[in-house]
Amino acid sequence: MTTATMAGKMPVMNVIVRIPDELAERLAAAGGDLERRALEALALAEYQAGRLTKPDLRLMLGFETRYELDGFLKAHGVNDGMTVAEFEQERQALDRLGI
């Protein structure tokens, strides 16, 4: 790991991931930027583990708007809304109140 400073921006840490060339070639052949895919995978895992907030995730991934972040989360199957069970509990509570 190394720390660097981007021009006019906050310091960033570079993390080196060492994988065998054969695997790297296979992963790269799947398409897309392997470095970006690794960054997104790490960011998503840390967000799901509760160690990153949405603003942290946005910063880490370089999204300018929350809509970009919401699209990213949706594309990766992350639903921050209610679960079906939570929705049902809410519906039952509203039914009891006559609403």
Tens-digit pLDDT profile for residues 8-29: 578 899 999 999 999 999 999 9
Asked if 15 and 25 count as a contact pair (C-beta separation under 8 A), the reply is no
CB burial of 62-86 (b: ≥16 within 10 Å; e: otherwise) equals ebeeeeebeebbeeeeeeeeeeeee
44-84 pLDDT, tens digit each: 999 999 899 999 999 999 999 989 999 999 999 998 766 67
For the chain, which residues make up each domain, given as ranges? 29-97
Answer whether 0.85 is exceeded by the pTM.
no
